[in-house]
C-alpha cells in the first residue's frame, strides 16, 4: 500500500487550492497556492508551475516540501511531507502541459513530489 490513503486521495480531488510550502537552502520560507495539485499515484502528487519562480527556485535548492489541503467548510483535510522534483521535459511534463494548452496556459515546469508521510486531519 502506498503512502496516500483513499481518504487523502478523495480530499485532494475535492479541494482547491492546495497550499505548498517550501524553503530555500538558507531556510527562507515560501508558500504558494496550487489549483493544479493532484494525485499522480499511491506515492506521488504533482502540480503544474504556471508562474511560481520562488517555489521552483526553492525546490531546486532544497527539495523538502510540505503541503496542506483543507476543506474550508468542513475543515476536513490532510498534510503531506515529501521531496519535490522539478521536471522540465519528458512524458509527464508533456501530458500536463497538453491539459493546460487546451486552455491557452503555458506550463513552465511540473513538480512531482515523492510522498514521505501523509496525515489525515479530521
| DSSP track, 71-100 | -TTT--EEEEEEEEEEE-SSHHHHHHHHHH
Residue found by looking up cell 468542513 in the block? 74
Residue 81, all three cell numbers: 511531507
pLDDT in tens, 4-15: 999 999 999 999
Residue 54, all three cell numbers: 520562488
pTM: 0.94
Comparing 58 with 103, the larger pLDDT belongs to: 58
Residue found by looking up cell 519562480 in the block? 53
pLDDT in tens, 36-50: 999 999 999 999 999
Domains plus CATH for the chain?
6-115 (2.30.110.10)
Q: What is the pLDDT of residue 1?
A: 56
Percentage with pLDDT > 70 across the chain? 98
Amino acid at each position: 500500500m502506498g503512502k496516500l490513503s483513499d481518504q487523502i486521495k478523495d480530499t485532494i480531488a475535492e479541494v482547491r487550492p492546495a497550499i505548498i510550502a517550501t524553503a530555500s537552502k538558507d531556510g527562507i520560507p515560501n508558500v504558494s497556492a496550487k489549483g493544479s495539485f493532484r494525485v499522480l499515484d499511491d506515492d506521488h502528487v504533482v502540480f503544474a508551475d504556471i508562474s511560481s519562480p520562488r517555489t521552483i527556485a526553492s525546490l531546486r535548492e532544497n527539495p523538502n516540501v510540505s503541503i496542506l489541503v483543507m476543506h474550508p467548510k468542513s475543515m476536513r483535510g490532510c498534510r503531506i511531507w515529501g521531496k519535490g522534483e522539478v521536471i522540465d521535459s519528458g512524458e509527464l511534463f508533456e501530458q500536463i502541459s497538453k491539459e493546460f494548452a487546451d486552455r491557452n496556459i503555458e506550463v513552465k515546469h511540473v513538480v512531482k513530489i515523492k510522498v514521505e508521510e501523509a496525515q489525515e486531519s479530521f
